[in-house]
DNA sequence: AATTTATATCGTAATATTGCAATATTAAAG
DNA sequence: CTTTAATATTGCAATATTACGATATAAATT
């Protein structure tokens, strides 16, 4: 016990859960927002933007990368990180779809 | 150590992280999708829809409720759960905004 | 009142996450 | 080749999450 029972859910459900889970930490939200703000891949200085130690930031970056939300490529001495637009679009569509369905809802209980 | 350092991030970042974290489990994604599918508040049978034991489902429902994603009201013998449309709209706007910003991006590295 | 039904809570084991100091790695600069 | 700079990995302590059996609660049914 203790581990998530992913095998009982659909691939899509697991995919969305993986993405939202990866975003489920303020530091990782901050990283994503920073990458969007600078409007370019960023080589370095992500650590200086966050109130966390370097190994911690590195770990958060790794999780975002594992989930596919960011891409990183070695750029000489440092690493170049940037948002994967396709994945963000997937989330945007997912929540857009939910909102559409909810506004079409006929029933008005609660 | 071990606890998230929420105090170092903005309220908005913490709010979005709380919502995405709550959705960061396939069972909770499945619950939300089911509530949308049935197009009404649901009194009962959420447990039967999921491949998890009743206390586990109850716990997941509690987390969704704590995050504000669903609302629940006592309906006689059972409980009536439904999606909070406002909160879903907030997520939809957040990711819509990100997608807009990303598509306006001039830089094409990575 | 006793039983059934639906849901919540408690307790607990297994596992995962968070955070960081210490250390490793690797490329650029001197 | 040594040093510096940027990032990753390791190891570990603190804490959180996941899952469920057992039990509690509370309204509906008999």
Where residue B48 sits, what CATH number does that domain have?
1.10.10.10
- Which pLDDT value is given to residue B104? 82
Q: pLDDT tens-digit profile of B57-94?
A: 999 999 999 999 999 877 767 788 889 999 999 999 99
How far is CA A109 from each of CA A106, B73, B82, B89, rounded to the nearest angstrom? 9, 10, 8, 18
In a domain, B3, yes or no: no
* Sheet order of strands, A42-43 included: A42-43, A78-83, A70-75
- Which pLDDT value is given to residue A105? 74
Range of the domain at A22: 10-98
Rounded to the nearest angstrom, the minimum Cα separation between A77 and chain B is 16
In a domain, A86, yes or no: yes
In a domain, B1, yes or no: no
- Which pLDDT value is given to residue A79? 81
In a domain, B61, yes or no: yes
Give which of A78, A82, A110 to mutate to test B binding, by max B Cβ within 10 Å.
Answer: A110
Mean pLDDT score of chain A, rounded to an integer?
89
Q: Which carries the bigger pLDDT value, residue A45 or residue A93?
A: A93
Residue A43 has pLDDT above 70, yes or no: no
What spatial distance separates the first Cα and last Cα of chain B, rounded to whole Å?
35
In a domain, B18, yes or no: yes
Q: Is A53 within 8 Å of chain B by CB? A: no
How far is CA A90 from each of CA A53, A87, B36, B53, rounded to the nearest angstrom? 31, 5, 19, 31
Q: Is A45 within 8 Å of chain B by CB? A: no
- Residue B16 to residue A30, Cβ atoms within 8 A: no
Cβ neighbours of A94 in B, within 8 Å: 95
User: CB atoms < 10 A from the CB of A77, how many?
Assistant: 7
In a domain, A27, yes or no: yes
Low-confidence winner among A19-23, A45-49, B53-57, B102-106 (lowest mean pLDDT): B102-106
- Which pLDDT value is given to residue B18? 98
Question: Strand C closer than 7 Å to the CB of A50?
Answer: no
- Which pLDDT value is given to residue A107? 61
Chain CA centroid to CA A24, Å = 8
Gap between the Cα atoms of B86 and B94, Å rounded? 12
Give which of A9, A25, A27, A64 to mutate to test B binding, by max B Cβ within 10 Å.
Answer: A25
- Which pLDDT value is given to residue B40? 67
Provide the number of structural domains found in chain B. 1
Q: Is B15 within 8 Å of chain A by CB? A: no
Q: Which nucleotide is at minimal CA–C1' distance from B4?
A: C18
- Which pLDDT value is given to residue B109? 62
Residue A13 has pLDDT above 90, yes or no: yes
In a domain, B106, yes or no: no
Q: Which carries the bigger pLDDT value, residue A93 or residue A106?
A: A93
pLDDT average, residue stretch A52-76? 91
In a domain, B2, yes or no: no
Residues within 8 A of B (CB atoms), A 63-82 only? 71, 73, 80, 82
């Amino acid at each position: 016990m203790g581990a998530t029972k992913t095998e009982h859910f659909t691939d899509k459900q697991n995919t969305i859960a993986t993405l939202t889970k990866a975003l489920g930490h303020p530091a990782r939200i901050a990283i994503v927002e920073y990458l969007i703000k600078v409007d370019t891949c960023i080589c370095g200085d992500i650590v200086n933007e966050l109130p966390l130690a370097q190994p911690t930031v590195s770990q958060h970056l790794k999780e975002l990368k594992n989930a596919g939300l960011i891409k990183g490529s070695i750029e000489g001495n440092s690493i170049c990180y940037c948002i994967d637009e396709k994945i963000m679009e997937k989330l945007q569509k997912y929540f857009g779809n939910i909102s559409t369905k909810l506004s079409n809802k006929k029933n008005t209980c609660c």
